[in-house]
Amino acid sequence: MKGHESSSPERLLSSDKNSLRSEDGVDLTLIRWMLSLTPTERLQVLQQNVRSIMRLRGERRDT
């Protein structure tokens, strides 16, 4: 399955730790940054992103 191969960890994370992109052109800096955060910090970032999207769409927050 070709699609499965491109998402394998070996292909995603280059052997060169300083590489900014995978062989497929995926920006690895954001992946590395997210992995450097604690699970709680990751959740906070994602919640902030959701709030930003809701604000841009003009949606109200009920909670």
Say what the pTM is: 0.55
Burial class for 22, CB neighbours closer than 10 Å (0-12, 13-18, 19+) = middle
**HEC profile for 8-29?**
CHHHHCCCCCCCCECCCCCEHH
Q: For residue 53, give both structure tokens.
A: 């999207």
pLDDT of residue 6: 45
pLDDT tens digits along 14-52? 456 667 888 888 889 989 999 999 999 999 999 999 999
Q: For residue 18, give both structure tokens.
A: 């300083």
Residues 6+ apart with CB under 8 A from 37: 45
Q: Where are the domains of the chain?
A: 2-57
